[in-house]
Amino acid sequence: MNPHKIKCAAATMLAAVVFLSFSPAAFAGSRVAVSVPPLHSLVAFLLSGVDTPALLYNSPEALSRHELNAHEAQKVDAAAMVIWGGPSYEKALAGKRLLDPLAGLKGLTLSSVTPLLSFPDPEKVDRSLNARDMRFWLDPRLAKVAVGRIAPQLVRLYPDSYERIMENEIVLKQRLMEMEHHMQHALGNDRSVPLHVPQSDVLYLAWRFNLAVPHCAAAARHAEGFGQANGPDLYFTMMKQVENDLLTCQNQIASKD
């Protein structure tokens, strides 16, 4: 066969594979897969009344693994869109993307479109480490930014449901702003501009609310939402638990003074 014809045939086959990979008829599972519970909750809220996204990681141990298990890999293969933080956080998903080019093509990497805070250098408080904190959703304003990045991509995937997704986006952003105002009041901080970013295990909360509590292990344990009921309400339930943890930590410090 003519070499040119062989190349054309190969290109046609590759195009067909890509088309089938993104065609709605090709998906036996959820059309959207999301890596961790807080992000999954935000996406589930946006897709309320439209579809139910799949959650990839069900435990904190999954974040330390470098390979997806068979069930997780099946969800990625079945999805038309995979929403995640980034390679430094979801290591197993990063490995899947390296091995499978199609998995990379359908990914929405939120760390690429959302501003992230760098961890402070514990030895030089005025400098930052190269590592960034991927848990940006702890700052309600950054969660709102992420929602604004996710919603248009979902509209492209569900064009017939664009009005519902846009309505959900408006409601979700309003709830995020209301939650931020409530947390400012509850945590005793009415200043909208943070004064400093202390070394903290809840870095985004320390930044947004200028917390006097640099460490609160209980709040940090709840910051990824594992072990809670998944769905549109998980994000707000998780953040309420984190707020309660921070208040307890603040009260413990106050009682010692």
Q: pLDDT (tens digit, 0 to 9) for every residue of the chain, 257 residues total?
A: 454 444 444 433 333 333 333 434 344 468 999 999 999 999 999 999 999 999 999 999 999 999 999 999 999 999 999 999 999 999 999 999 988 888 889 999 999 999 999 887 767 666 667 788 999 999 999 999 999 999 999 999 999 999 999 999 999 999 999 999 999 999 887 666 676 777 789 999 988 888 878 789 999 999 999 999 999 999 999 999 999 999 999 888 877 76
Which one, of 186, 207, 77, lies nearest residue 141 by Cα? 207
Q: State the Cα–Cα distance between residues 188 and 208, nearest whole angstrom.
A: 12
Query: What pLDDT, on the 0 to 100 scale, is given for residue 144?
Result: 98
**Structural domain count of the chain:** 1
Query: What pLDDT, on the 0 to 100 scale, is given for residue 127?
Result: 67
CATH of the domain at 100: 3.40.50.1980
Query: What pLDDT, on the 0 to 100 scale, is given for residue 255?
Result: 78
Query: What pLDDT, on the 0 to 100 scale, is given for residue 9?
Result: 42
Domain membership of residue 131 as a residue range: 3-256
Q: State the Cα–Cα distance between residues 138 and 145, nearest whole angstrom.
A: 12
Would you list the DSSP string of the chain? --HHHHHHHHHHHHHHHHHHHHSGGG-SS-SEEESSHHHHHHHHHHTTTT--PEE---SGGGGG-SS--HHHHHHHHH-SEEEE--TTT-HHHHHHHHH-HHHHHTEEEGGGTS--PEEEETTEEEEEEEEE---GGGSHHHHHHHHHHHHHHHHHH-GGGHHHHHHHHHHHHHHHHHHHHHHHHHTT---SS-----S-SSHHHHHHHT-S-S--HHHHHTTT-TTS--STTHHHHHHHHHHHHHHHHHHHHHHH-
Using CA atoms, how far residue 8 sits from 5, 22, 105, 139, 167, in Å, is 5, 21, 22, 50, 45
Query: What pLDDT, on the 0 to 100 scale, is given for residue 212?
Result: 79
200 backbone dihedrals φ, ψ, rounded to 5° = -150, 150
